[in-house]
Amino acid sequence: MNSHEPRQTRSAQRDAAREKARQLRESRARIDRTKSFTLKLIAIIGGLAVIALVIVGVMNAQQTSQNKNAAPANVTFNGGIKIGTDLKAFTSTQTPAPNPTASASANGTVPNIVMYVDYQCPICQTFEKTNSEQLRSWVKNGVATLEIHPISFLDGRGSPNTYSSRAANAALCVASYSPNNYFDFSTALFANQPAEGTPGPENPALVQRAKDSGVINADKITDCINNKTYGSWLSKATGKIIAPNAKVPGTNVLFQGTPTVVVNGQQYPLTQESLTSAAMFAQWFLQVTKG
């Protein structure tokens, strides 16, 4: 201290000490208030984060629930996808023009061929390979329409990696998002069917097969296949048709397995010979449509 500066009186020293103490108290109070505000802010942000996570969880759960109960689009014929002229699918906005003049039917209407198939079923593959080209020709030229019902009951020993249900779900995905490519995709599934009792292609191969069939909306189809979006719907549809004494809708035909092929309420009789003869199927088709 400068010797020329006057010394503080005791009273002034006390006042200075009190002032310093007051400043220290105010400084601590400001620090405490800031700390309290920060803690409250952190708590609020944390609470909001928890709420956000809960909301996201609820939304995801709702989405998962919706996906599990989703019904495929363009499946409007008792669970079947109907294909018409130029191999185009019947949808809510599209009705492929029939060609009654080319029809085999005596009354000039276009007959409808109804098929129930499991894409892992070897007998279905035999029928499909035998008749694929003439079915393609008939449907493309408006001679007939084709109504395919994909079902799945071979998961397990017959389809150890659930290829049966995954392939059927993939078919429903294509029907929903690229319906005009359904016929080609269905044909490709049978052409590449794995041997019964062996693992089938995994989802990436199914996605690629769909793309090779020329599908649109490939991203949506990919998600649909990977999420098995229509698995629950497929299970219910399968359970309904394979139930005891179940009949093909609109007919008296008892469902007894795949393939089930019905035209005009009559079932194509399956024998070793009839399965491997396109001529026999064509003759039967003419008979039931002309009769």
Per-residue model confidence as pLDDT tens digits over 39-78: 666 666 666 554 544 444 444 444 444 455 789 999 988 8
- The answer to whether 257 and 122 have CB atoms below 8 angstroms apart is no
Q: What is the pLDDT of residues 205-234, one digit of tens each?
A: 999 999 999 999 999 999 999 999 999 999
Integer Cα distance of 240 and 104 in angstroms: 32
What pLDDT, in 10s, does the model give residues 1-45? 455 556 667 676 666 667 776 777 777 777 777 666 666 666 666
Q: Which neighbouring-strand residues pair with 159?
A: 155
Neighbours of 169 (CB within 10 A): 27
Dihedral in degrees, nearest 10, Cα atoms 208, 158, 74, 214: 20
Cα-Cα end-to-end distance for the chain: 128
Looking at residues 261-265, what average pLDDT do you find? 97
Over residues 84-102, the mean pLDDT reads 88
Give the confidence band of 196 by pLDDT, cuts at 50, 70, 90: confident
Does position 247 have pLDDT exceeding 70, yes or no?
yes
The pTM (predicted TM-score) of the whole model is: 0.77
Question: Residue 151 and residue 145: Cα distance in Å, rounded?
Answer: 19
More confident residue, 189 or 59: 189
Tokens of 103: 């029809």
Tell me the mean pLDDT in the region 173-183: 98
Separation in Å, CA 99 to CA 57, 73, 74, 108: 52, 25, 22, 9
Q: What is the mean pLDDT of the chain?
A: 86
Region of 142 on the Ramachandran plot (φ > 0 left; ψ -120 to 50 alpha; else beta):
left
Which of left, alpha, beta for 289 (phi over 0: left; psi -120 to 50: alpha)?
alpha
**DSSP states of 145-187:** EEEEEE----BTTTBTTSHHHHHHHHHHHHHHH-GGGHHHHHH
pLDDT for res 38 = 64
112-134 pLDDT, tens digit each:
999 999 999 999 999 999 999 99
**Share of residues in the chain with pLDDT > 70 (%):** 78
Spatial separation of the C-alpha atoms in residues 15 and 9, rounded to whole Å: 10
CATH code for the part of the protein at 81-290: 3.40.30.10
